[in-house]
Chains A and B, each alone.
Chain A
Amino acid sequence: MRLIKAILLRLVTTAVTLFGVALIVFFVIRVVPGNPIAMMLPPGATDADVARLTALYGLDKSIPTQFLIWSTGVLRGDFGVSITNRQPVLALVLDHLPATLELSALALFIAVFLGGTAALIGTRLRGTRVEAAIDVGNGMALSVPDFLWGLVLILLFGVLMPLFQISGRITPSLTLPFSTNFYLVESVVRLRFDLTRDLLSHMIMPAMGLAIPLAAIISQLLKQSLKEVMHLDYVALARTKGYGETHVILREALPNAVLPTLTLVGVQFTFLIGGTVIIERLFSFEGLGNMAIDAVINRDLPLIQGIVILFAVIFTAVNLLVDLCYAAFNPRLRHG
């Protein structure tokens, strides 16, 4: 009963948060100087043309009225029409979302893999130079944000040792047999591994840039949790039973140390998704973030609103999911 009440409360606060985001974005971008309508018309357009188009986009009404019209539209799934592309915002956003999702998922995978491996090696070889090196590496990786790691990677593996592609999502000359925008997933499903290779060659560096700081966080926290668990009696018991150190770490310590890290990964994942905005720009990766910056530069009000709302929905959804997972994994919270 208490769990249901807690979930309902979370849903209500989530709704309030999303409404707040919508309200702030809506009003902030309407203070933007520069008339987007005048920008989209050819130079010879008359004032009457501008006025007619302004009315068409509803920009002649008062701001509260515009908000009312827009928000009732959103509730029906209508986010308006992009001013620069003249396509429905929802379609545009959904077109670019898969690229960003695939990039974030790959980055998360790399971060968990690198961070987890580093933590396990550091624990297995604790007290040695390897552990010290891992600690220093973690400190460095955490000190510098994704944007700078992306640039460092461009220099190292794009210029110095040109192993990977540094711009775009896929080589433009390739003909694509895809029917969705989840290119990576589809290339695997269709067994077109040549395309998978090309996609990964474009995605690996932006994904690494996003993953490095998160990998360090995972490594640090997991190592800390493992260290605490390793002192407990049941671990000592497993040792006296004659299990090797690696077995003790993987089978006995890890399952009990992993929960705090899981929760943190969830929260940090939202930061990673936020980081895609600048990383996509840096690597000219055609995802949601890159489109968002273009939309701001072009003063495309409906598109900006749509993208920001979508990001906010993703963020709050991830946070909600993390909390639910935490409740599901943690028996103390379930019966509390």
Chain B
Amino acid sequence: MGDGRIQVRRSAGARLWLSAGWLLFVTLIAIFAPWAAPKDPLAQDLFSGRLPPFWVQGADKTFILGTDSLGRDVLSRIIFGARIALAVALIAGTLTCLIGATLGLLAGFLRGWVDVVISRLIDIWMAFPPVLFSVLLIAVLGPGLFSIILAIVVIDWTRFARVIRAEAMGQGAMDYVAAAQVAGRSRLGTMLVEILPNVLPTIVVLLTLEMGIAVIVEAILSFVNLSISTDDPTWGGMIAEGRTSVHQAWWVLVFPLVTLFLTVLAFSQLGEGLKDRFDPVLR
């Protein structure tokens, strides 16, 4: 039994560090994109369209991962795409977390009509197919980074609200909260000083997971061609182009897909790893 627990901790530690390492790498690449990228991600060269990656026959070795149909360097576009992906993850994730967690905390701790209104809103939101809802919102807001972030916040706040509401409700029923109330703390004070620190680990885990989801949503919207302008390098936009030419130029699809896959996996594994770290039973 004891051995098993140590093993769980060890493998959890490994995946925590691997995911954090990959995300750090992507972040550094995104920050230093102009220096990291070998080429201009927007430069078109119709004479060198659909060149394969360097190890394949007929490749131009300066285009390490090949080119797309317009002759743009795939590697450089992936590197610059990381900027958009991470910006969306960070900003949309944080905003969604702030709004969702606040509403969840209010509903779960204050109960009463506040809870009724927020719970009903969550029910209505859950009845929307999320992808369709986001596509619809982008159509309303117009394409662009700001619209994507807003769409993610509007759609995903329920992820935080649902879980934090339940947690806050559970914490609110505990003796220490009643004790704080008896000791004369205000309702708002109790919520911020007693409840919030106890649900904070859950919030951090959800935030990490949400960042991964935000990266996916951005990719999906770029895929449907509603994200940023088609020239800007986004992983989803590259995947959309790669999907149409998958039989002629597999590399246009494979490399951005692998990058996106690893990044989403890393966010998710980081979240799960943190969840285990915070779990007192495993600790």
CB-based contact B246/A154 at 8 Å = yes
Partner of B123, one of A17, A28, A29, A139: A17
On chain B, the residues within 8 Å of A90 by CB distance are none
Dominant SS among interface residues on chain B: helix
A-B contacts, 14 of them at CB < 8 A, read A17-B124, A29-B136, A32-B140, A142-B268, A144-B261, A145-B264, A155-B254, A159-B246, A277-B129, A278-B131, A282-B223, A293-B135, A296-B139, A308-B136
Closest CB of chain A to B3's CB: distance in Å? 11
CB-based contact A297/B253 at 8 Å = no
Indicate with 1 or 0, residue by residue over B125-142, a CB within 8 angstroms of chain A CB atoms: 011111111011101101
CA A29 to CA B127, docked complex, whole Å = 17
CB-based contact B224/A28 at 8 Å = no
CB-based contact B268/A29 at 8 Å = no
Number of A positions contacting B (CB below 8 A): 49
- Taking Cβ atoms with an 8 Å cutoff, the residues of B that contact A are 120-121, 123-124, 126-133, 135-137, 139-140, 142, 212-213, 216, 219-220, 223-224, 226, 239, 243, 246-247, 250, 253-254, 257, 260-261, 264-265, 268-269, 272
- Taking Cβ atoms with an 8 Å cutoff, the residues of A that contact B are 13, 16-18, 20-21, 24-25, 28-29, 31-33, 139-140, 142-145, 147-148, 151-152, 154-155, 158-159, 166, 270, 273-275, 277-278, 281-282, 289, 292-293, 296-297, 299, 304, 307-308, 311-312, 315-316
Closest CB of chain B to A92's CB: distance in Å? 16
Closest CB of chain B to A174's CB: distance in Å? 22
CB-based contact B129/A151 at 8 Å = no
CB-based contact A148/B257 at 8 Å = yes
CB-based contact A296/B124 at 8 Å = no
Partner of A28, one of B140, B250, B269: B140
Cβ-closest chain B residue relative to A32: B140
CA A293 to CA B129, docked complex, whole Å = 12
CA A297 to CA B120, docked complex, whole Å = 30
On chain A, the residues within 8 Å of B219 by CB distance are 147
Cβ-closest chain B residue relative to A304: B136
On chain A, the residues within 8 Å of B223 by CB distance are 147, 278, 281-282
CB-based contact A307/B253 at 8 Å = no
CB-based contact A152/B257 at 8 Å = yes
Cβ-closest chain A residue relative to B267: A143
Known: A144-B265, A155-B253. A307 touches B132 (CB 8 A): yes
On chain B, the residues within 8 Å of A31 by CB distance are 140
On chain B, the residues within 8 Å of A293 by CB distance are 132, 135, 224
Cβ-closest chain A residue relative to B126: A315
On chain A, the residues within 8 Å of B135 by CB distance are 277, 292-293, 296
